[in-house]
């Protein structure tokens, strides 16, 4: 695909979309991508052994190339195999790896290419605006993303002087030269957290990465219901947070204390208990503001989401300790390096 090329130093971008049974969301993703303007680009959908209408939906978009992921090599995750197949077929100077559940705002591809040039970044990653529909999505996502913002502050991630690296696999724009130099996804083939692993490899090579929240560019609904949410965060949380057990205990303590003070107040009347309770609730709600959700979701997160996040942390820790993690119909055992991120 070619557009009017309004970006200075026009960049050819290969957009690579790995897709495994994504019939519920792939159409909206591709509609948002084919409508991009301002930069020359191609779109490659990698069908990762789908058993639904994923391939047919991709093929219904003129100009979209649809390729097969190919057999899954031993020790590889399915996503790494799919995006590697896409990278082999790509012809662009830059590659955008984006998930099938993302929706890209008009002009965002050209703006991202320009932003990468402006900041001299070899890898630019966006954290999308998160769409939450069901009760548990609305309650849990603010807590998860609040903790992610604490663990991976974008300013530090983007600072070349800081060793901290992170990326969001829903939107990774990377220069082809840098990608090949660090071995691409093949170098992190065993990682279930391939986005962070790739960002770490790029940064450790001395190249610059840039990471930010980008509601102005891309949005996504990660999980459609509690079952998907539980499976997805079970896969990821232990890899994202170095001490999940401690974090779960901390989260439960911070959630429990305001309730305990509130329960004590009628039994042992004193204004101090009520004040301590209100301060505790205010603290918990305030921390969630960094997650970029509205106030109703912040309230849900503070009152309900925190203990559920602790549960998911412990569930993730147990699954990884057992060496068996399920995702999209596949089970990854200890032949895959479940701790490939170094935690």
pLDDT digit string, tens, across residues 171-181: 999 999 999 99
Q: Which of 106-115, 267-276, 322-331 has the highest mean pLDDT?
A: 106-115
State the pLDDT at residue 268.
67
Count how many domains the chain has.
Answer: 2
- Please, what sign has the CA dihedral across residues 38, 39, 40, 46? negative
73 confidence band (pLDDT: 50, 70, 90): very high
> Lowest mean pLDDT: which of 224-238, 268-282, 293-307?
268-282
Cα torsion at 46, 209, 180, 40 (round to 10°)? Answer: 60
State the pLDDT at residue 7.
38
H or E segment and range at residue 327: strand 325-327
For tokens 């002087």, what's the residue?
161
Q: What is the pLDDT of residues 194-219, one digit of tens each?
A: 999 999 999 999 999 999 999 999 99
Same domain, 186 and 320: no
DSSP for residue 304 = I
Q: Is residue 340 part of a domain?
A: no
| E-assigned strand segments in 20-85 | 41-47, 65-68
Same domain, 184 and 275: no
32 confidence band (pLDDT: 50, 70, 90): very high
Same domain, 71 and 211: yes
Same domain, 175 and 307: no
Tokens of 44: 């490659």
Largest CA distance in the chain: 72
For tokens 């605006």, what's the residue?
129
63 confidence band (pLDDT: 50, 70, 90): very high
DSSP-assigned beta bridge partners for residue 294: none
72 confidence band (pLDDT: 50, 70, 90): very high
Name the phi and psi angles at 120, rounded to 5: 55, 40
Q: Is 62 exposed, middle or buried (0-12, 13-18, 19+ CB in 10 A)?
A: exposed
Same domain, 72 and 196: yes
Q: Is residue 88 part of a domain?
A: yes
Same domain, 192 and 111: yes
| CATH number for the domain that contains residue 192 | 3.90.550.10
DSSP-assigned beta bridge partners for residue 289: none
Q: What is the mean pLDDT of residues 21-40?
A: 96
Q: Tell me the pTM.
A: 0.89
Tokens of 115: 């932003």
Same domain, 220 and 265: no
Name the phi and psi angles at 53, rounded to 5: -90, 15
Tokens of 88: 């082999």
- Domain finish residue from 198, 224, 250: 224
Q: Is residue 8 part of a domain?
A: no
Rounded CA separation 158/214 (Å): 14
Q: Is residue 273 part of a domain?
A: yes
DSSP-assigned beta bridge partners for residue 17: 45
Same domain, 20 and 72: yes
Q: Is residue 141 part of a domain?
A: no
State the pLDDT at residue 2.
46
CB atoms within 10 A of CB 67: 16
Q: Is residue 31 part of a domain?
A: yes
Q: Is 196 exposed, middle or buried (0-12, 13-18, 19+ CB in 10 A)?
A: buried
Same domain, 259 and 317: yes
Q: Percentage of residues in the chain with pLDDT exceeding 90?
A: 76
Same domain, 213 and 85: yes
Same domain, 198 and 245: no
Q: What is the mean pLDDT of residues 120-141?
A: 96
**Taking the chain, what is the end-to-end CA distance rounded to the nearest angstrom?**
41
Query: DSSP readout, 126-184?
Result: EEPEEP--SHHHHHHHHHHHHHHHHHS-HHHHT-TTS------TTEEEEEHHHHHHTTG
Q: What is the mean pLDDT of residues 80-88?
A: 97
DSSP for residue 14 = E
State the pLDDT at residue 3.
45
Q: What is the mean pLDDT of residues 7-34?
A: 87
Q: Is residue 302 part of a domain?
A: yes
3-state SS record for 87-140: HHHCCCCEEEEECCCEEECCCHHHHHHHHHHHCCCCEEEEECEECCCCHHHHHH
Query: DSSP readout, 270-283?
Result: -HHHHHHHHHHHHH
Which domain does 218 fall in, by range? 13-128+168-224
Same domain, 50 and 179: yes
- Please, what sign has the CA dihedral across residues 320, 25, 288, 153? positive
Mean pLDDT of all residues in the chain?
Answer: 90
Rounded CA separation 80/304 (Å): 34
Rounded CA separation 58/182 (Å): 30
Q: Is residue 200 part of a domain?
A: yes
């Amino acid at each position: 695909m070619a557009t009017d090329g309004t970006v200075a130093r026009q960049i050819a971008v290969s957009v690579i979309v790995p897709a495994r049974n994504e019939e519920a969301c792939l159409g909206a993703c591709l509609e948002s991508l084919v409508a991009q303007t301002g930069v020359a680009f191609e779109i490659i959908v990698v069908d990762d052994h789908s058993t639904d209408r994923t391939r047919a939906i991709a093929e219904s978009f003129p100009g979209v190339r649809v390729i097969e992921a190919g057999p899954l090599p031993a020790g590889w995750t399915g996503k790494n195999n799919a995006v590697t197949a896409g990278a082999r077929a790509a012809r662009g100077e830059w590659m955008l790896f984006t998930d099938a559940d993302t929706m890209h705002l008009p002009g965002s591809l050209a703006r991202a290419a320009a932003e990468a040039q402006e900041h001299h970044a070899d890898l630019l990653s966006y954290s999308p605006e998160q769409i939450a529909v069901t009760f548990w999505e609305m309650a849990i996502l603010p807590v998860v993303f609040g903790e992610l913002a604490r663990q991976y502050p974008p300013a530090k991630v983007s600072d070349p002087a800081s060793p901290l690296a992170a990326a969001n696999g829903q939107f990774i724009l990377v220069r082809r030269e840098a990608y090949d130099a660090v071995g691409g996804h093949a170098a992190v083939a065993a990682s279930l957290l391939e986005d962070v692993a790739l960002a770490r490899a790029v940064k450790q090579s001395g190249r610059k990465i840039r990471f930010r929240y980008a509601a102005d560019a891309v949005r996504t609904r990660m999980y459609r219901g509690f079952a998907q949410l539980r499976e997805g965060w079970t896969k990821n949380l232990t890899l994202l947070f170095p001490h999940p057990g401690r974090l779960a205990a901390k989260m439960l303590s911070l959630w429990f204390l305001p309730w305990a003070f509130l329960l004590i107040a009628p039994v042992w009347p004193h204004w101090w208990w009520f004040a301590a309770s209100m301060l505790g609730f205010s603290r918990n709600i305030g921390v969630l503001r960094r997650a970029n959700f509205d106030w109703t979701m912040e309230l849900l997160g503070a009152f309900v989401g925190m203990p559920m996040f602790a549960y998911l942390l412990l569930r993730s820790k147990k699954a990884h300790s057992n060496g068996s993690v399920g995702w999209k119909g596949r089970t990854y055992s200890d032949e895959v390096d479940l701790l490939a991120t170094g935690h």
